[in-house]
Structure 1
Amino acid sequence: MKFLFPVLIGLVLISACQSNENKLITIEGEAQGTTWHISYISKDGINFKQAIDSILKDIDLSLSTYVPVSIISRINNNEPDIRVDPYFIDVFNKSMEVSQRTGGLFDVTVGPLINAWGFGFSKKANIDSTRIDSILQYVDYKMLKLDGNILIKEKKDVKLDFNAIAQGYSVDVLALYLEKRGIKNYLVELGGELIAKGKKNTENWKAGIDHPIQNTSSERKLEAIIELDNRALCTSGNYRKFYEENGKRYAHILDPRTGFPARQNILSASVLADDAMTADAYATAFMVMGLERSKQFLEENKDLNLEVFFIYDENNTWKTFTSESLKNKLKQVN
């Protein structure tokens, strides 16, 4: 068995001209098992890296299952009298909202499945239908309820995993911090999830979307460049995080209904939304839905103000689908 876990980025920032009147500040670091990059226009040149690092550590202490003393880890371990914090409440409420909208195709109780398949912090278990059925009895977002700052689990073996939404949320938190410090023109990126506000000089910020090359190399190729206009952009894909066993490839995005990796025709789902937390969650949900159901969902949920760029497989040929409103802001490279 061979595990292949390259970092899923999916996006690369595209440069624009720098203003002579204001300073372009660029800071970067590591957090949540990946990297982050922030660019912003500042008149006084203040560097916010120390504050950003501190915020990201606080978020991990709330939402990371990889931190044993985090709030989510302590809840998963059924420790008594755990009070959740505002970070947890924000992510939980959005998760429940997306779960309800998608009929459970997005579900933060998939934690035990993720670990069983070897995509979490546990080694892969021996998987068969009996094993999956034994886990599925604890996979259902409806078994969770937030009462004030106390999370109630219907079954003690229900375990949460916010990995499909936490990075997007972290981007939103960092963006809000910059805005509170008077920064109006910025781009925040963490692990490929990003949000942009204002402009870089006189141009909108831009980002590139990777071509979903399904191999084990570090080769990257751009599929498209998107012009961001005060929007968040998040990408989910099965092509850079998977493992192979007995000649079969198993991807990390799981279908909460079956307990098995989602086997749909979308290879990469890029979603634009007003905030990165929303974009992040729906990017994962669309990977589970597949192309036709995703298109139907977008038509029936126009109030969400989502725009998408899908790369999908049709009869072993890669094709793309772009929201009509996004076409004048997107340029395909190939």
Structure 2
Amino acid sequence: MKSGILLLLLISLSMFTCRQPSKYIYNQGYIYGTNYHIVYESPEGKDLQNEITDLLNGYNKIFSTYDSTSVISKVNNNKPVELHPLFLRCYNRAMEISEITGGAFDITAGPMVNAWGFGPEEKSKMTKEIVDSLKAITGFHKVKLQNNTVFKENPNMKLDMSAIAKGFTSDLVGEFLAKNGCENYMVEIGGEVVARGKNEKGRVWTIGISKPDEMAFFASNDIQAKVHLPEHALATSGNYRNFYVEDGKKFAHTIDPKTGYPVQHSLLSTTVLADSCIDADAFATAFMVLGLEKSIEIAEQTPGIKVYFIYVNGEGENDVYLSEGFKEHLVK
């Protein structure tokens, strides 16, 4: 009897001494041509960087247009490929959001973006003829998914999920952390954020929305607003940093898939709060295409999203529109 009690005591002590205390881990790296930052409370203090890197490398092999062997590159180059389940998830949600936004969000618009000088390829000297030729191979309704295969009306059409894949990947990394017992974490990939629980100081995660000013990045007070993010995803899109001036005219990186030209309207930046980052990412992009009035209309009709828009008002000054549900998340 005594030996049994002693054995139980030794096992209990062994379990107690082997269990490590939880601690917050900070990981960072590079994916999809951008930086990522991940913070999480690891239940036993384990650094999951290697596992996360393996995951991200796997996602890169699905969604990266820079990798000629990726799933999306093989689709674009009309090569036989088995579509990964994650590709199908992202593709299907992209098509749903394209329908909701009337084509403002469109994963076939990549060649347009590249031609205007906002992609990896050399900028073209844009003419009406070039724009018309690009419009002929653009349009989400011109691609179909049948029998696990993407069919394109024109073989020259290219898919580009960069405006939704970063958000989707943030969701996937968040799911991985949750499965590994992490109740408190923040995942940020290229500005697309997923957060749960609290930070190392025991406070709700707080994310800043930048001022839509090309010089604000270099200023000490570049934050327009701060948002509490206890269990949500957030994404911001804007034209105030990614642009160029040619012949005295400013060209921003948001291209309207329907017209083939950079957008010209009062909206400076769009921030979307949603339950998933795949939605926040895609809707933020679509709203930058649509402009203020149409974006407000769609946001009001779409369950599960809340918005914060910065725009130029009739007096030429920056102004803010935010949906009712967004207000409760603002840091006072």
> TM over 0.5, yes or no?
yes
| Alpha-carbon separation, structure 1, partners of 2:313 and 2:128 | 29
| Contact 2:238-2:269 within 8 A present in 1 as well | yes
Q: Deviations over 1:194-222 (max 9, x none)?
A: 11112235432111111111249744601
Q: Deviations over 1:227-286 (max 9, x none)?
A: 012000000000111122112111111101100011121111010001101000000011
* AA in 2 matched with 1:150: T
- Aligned partner of 1:96 in structure 2 is 95
Offset, 1:22: 4.2
- Aligned partner of 1:136 in structure 2 is 135
Offset, 1:176: 0.8
* AA in 2 matched with 1:312: Y
**Superposition pairs of residues 195-206 of structure 1, within 5 angstroms:** 195-200=194-199, 202-206=202-206
- Aligned partner of 1:57 in structure 2 is 57
| Contact 1:255-1:288 within 8 A present in 2 as well | yes
- Aligned partner of 1:73 in structure 2 is 73
249-258 or 22-31, larger mean C-alpha shift:
22-31
| Contact 1:63-1:71 within 8 A present in 2 as well | yes
1:30 corresponds to 2:10 = no
1:46 corresponds to 2:23 = no
Task: Please list every run of 5 or more consecutive structure 1 residues that lacks an aligned counterpart in the other structure.
Answer: 1-20
| Contact 1:264-1:287 within 8 A present in 2 as well | no
**Superposition pairs of residues 43-192 of structure 1, within 5 angstroms:** 43-79=43-79, 81-192=80-191
- Aligned partner of 1:16 in structure 2 is none
| Alpha-carbon separation, structure 1, partners of 2:285 and 2:300 | 18
Runs of 4+ in 1 over 3 A off after TM superposition: 215-220
* AA in 2 matched with 1:176: E
| Secondary structure in 2 matching 1:231 | strand
| Alpha-carbon separation, structure 2, partners of 1:30 and 1:126 | 31
| Alpha-carbon separation, structure 2, partners of 1:298 and 1:259 | 24
Query: Larger relative CO (CA 8 A, sep 6+): 1 or 2?
Result: 1
Structure 1 pair 202–259 and aligned structure 2 pair: CA distance change class (3 A): same
Structure 1 pair 217–210 and aligned structure 2 pair: CA distance change class (3 A): closer
269-278 or 52-61, larger mean C-alpha shift:
52-61
| Secondary structure in 1 matching 2:129 | helix
Q: Deviations over 1:84-123 (max 9, x none)?
A: 1122111101110000111111111001111211111111
- Aligned partner of 1:207 in structure 2 is 207
- CA RMSD in angstroms comes to 1.6
The TM-score with structure 2 as length reference comes to 0.89
| Secondary structure in 2 matching 1:69 | coil
| Contact 2:29-2:36 within 8 A present in 1 as well | yes
Offset, 1:331: 3.4
- Aligned partner of 1:292 in structure 2 is 293
* AA in 2 matched with 1:26: Y
| Contact 1:85-1:149 within 8 A present in 2 as well | no
- Aligned partner of 2:16 in structure 1 is none
| Contact 2:107-2:159 within 8 A present in 1 as well | yes
* AA in 2 matched with 1:76: N
The TM-score with structure 1 as length reference comes to 0.89
| Secondary structure in 1 matching 2:30 | strand
| Contact 2:43-2:181 within 8 A present in 1 as well | no
- Aligned partner of 2:228 in structure 1 is 227
| Contact 2:273-2:326 within 8 A present in 1 as well | no
| Secondary structure in 2 matching 1:91 | helix
| Contact 1:145-1:152 within 8 A present in 2 as well | yes
Offset, 1:70: 1.1
Task: Please list every run of 5 or more consecutive structure 2 residues that lacks an aligned counterpart in the other structure.
Answer: 1-20
| Secondary structure in 1 matching 2:331 | strand
| Alpha-carbon separation, structure 2, partners of 1:286 and 1:106 | 8
Offset, 1:300: 2.0
209-218 or 129-138, larger mean C-alpha shift:
209-218
| Secondary structure in 1 matching 2:231 | coil
Q: Deviations over 1:111-159 (max 9, x none)?
A: 1111211111111111011210111011111111112421111211111
Offset, 1:77: 1.4
Offset, 1:69: 1.4
| Secondary structure in 1 matching 2:87 | helix
Q: Which has the larger radius of gyration?
A: 2
| Contact 1:63-1:87 within 8 A present in 2 as well | no
* AA in 2 matched with 1:244: V
Aligned residues: 309
Structure 1 pair 330–103 and aligned structure 2 pair: CA distance change class (3 A): same
- Aligned partner of 1:259 in structure 2 is 260
Bigger helix fraction: 2
